[in-house]
Amino acid sequence: MPARHTFVTVLLAALVLGGCSATPADGYGDDGGLTVGVVQGRDDRGARIVAIEVTNNRDDAITLIRAELDAPQLEAPTAWERGTTLQPGLTVDLRVQLGAPACPLAEDLTATATVEFVTAEGVERSVSVVPEQPSGVLTRISQEDCLIAGVDAHADITVKSVEYAPGSKVPAVLVLGVQPKDADGSATIVGVHSTVLLGLVDPQGTLSQGYALQRVLERGGDDSDLRISLVPNRCDTHAVAEDKRGTFIPLDVELENGVSGTYYVTMPDDQKGQLYAFVPDYCPPVR
């Protein structure tokens, strides 16, 4: 779990379910005595999971019934509906799976989080707020989503295999299939970068943390495989055990409209396992 944060929320409205009173029955104001944020742990990045983080600033325990995140970056809201008790002064992360992205992005990306709960006195409450977003988490995700959509519109990039011979002490080769699509326009794979776990060997055989590729993705374009040579960037005994994103291979890409960023190639489980086996096999033995 990420470190806890103190959130300042911009409050929009609070409704007592079953009525329209301007003053909540329990006197906690229009925030219901809660603060709300949206956060994401490193383990959840590839899966596009975020947490609606709720802190109970009230004097009583509450029963959370439902939480919903609605954002212009998403085609539809996403909701948590499992139910849990939240004691005074505590914080809980309600993890939700984000749905399909809405691209191109709207100008106004203001998100709304709605939390439904029952107070200790049995009062049902619904509070809607603009959640705090440490590091602009939803903005980052939406930019990544739309960059991915732009690249995927022009080519299918797939992990074909990881080639290495155990015990050989030679670099592994990641084989990426690149199949251009019959679509107008283009995108360009500008280069490839290393990860915390994996370094690169460039086409000249030199150890590298990144090098240029300049592969244009366009109708009728180059459909040959990309072959990327890899070596460990870490050889300590905890390198694999502590890994979170070390097998997500970052490609620098640029769309025809000038939008650029990082396209992460997600490793299937089989190839991820091969890379995790490769690292200690390639590294010198620990003495």
Mean pLDDT of 16-35: 60
What pLDDT does 25 receive?
56
Residue 287 belongs to a domain: no
Mean pLDDT of 127-138: 91
Query: What pTM was computed for the model?
Result: 0.70
Give every strand in the sheet of 49-56, ordered side by side: 34-39, 49-56, 91-97
Asked if residue 16 has pLDDT above 70, the reply is no
As a whole number, the mean pLDDT across the chain is 89
Count of the separate structural domains present in the chain: 2
Express each pLDDT in 197-237 by its tens digit. Answer: 999 999 999 999 999 999 999 999 999 999 999 999 999 98
User: How far apart are the C-alpha atoms of 213 and 251, rounded to whole Å?
Assistant: 9
Residue 44 belongs to a domain: yes
What pLDDT does 285 receive?
80
Same domain, 123 and 21: yes
Residue 203 belongs to a domain: yes
Same domain, 209 and 125: no
Residue 21 belongs to a domain: yes
Asked if residue 178 has pLDDT above 50, the reply is yes
What pLDDT does 21 receive?
39
Instruction: Tell me how crowded residue 203 is: count the other CB atoms within 10 A of its CB.
Output: 12
Write out the residue range of the structural domain in which residue 59 sits. 10-144
Of 113, 144, 175, the residue that ends a domain is 144
Same domain, 139 and 158: no
From residue 130, alpha-carbon distances to 109, 113, 154, 186, 219 in Å are: 11, 6, 35, 37, 43
Asked if residue 111 has pLDDT above 80, the reply is yes
Instruction: Tell me how crowded residue 120 is: count the other CB atoms within 10 A of its CB.
Output: 13
Percent with pLDDT over 90 in the chain: 77
The CATH code of the domain that includes 225 is 2.60.40
Of 83, 114, 144, the residue that ends a domain is 144
Residue 164 belongs to a domain: yes
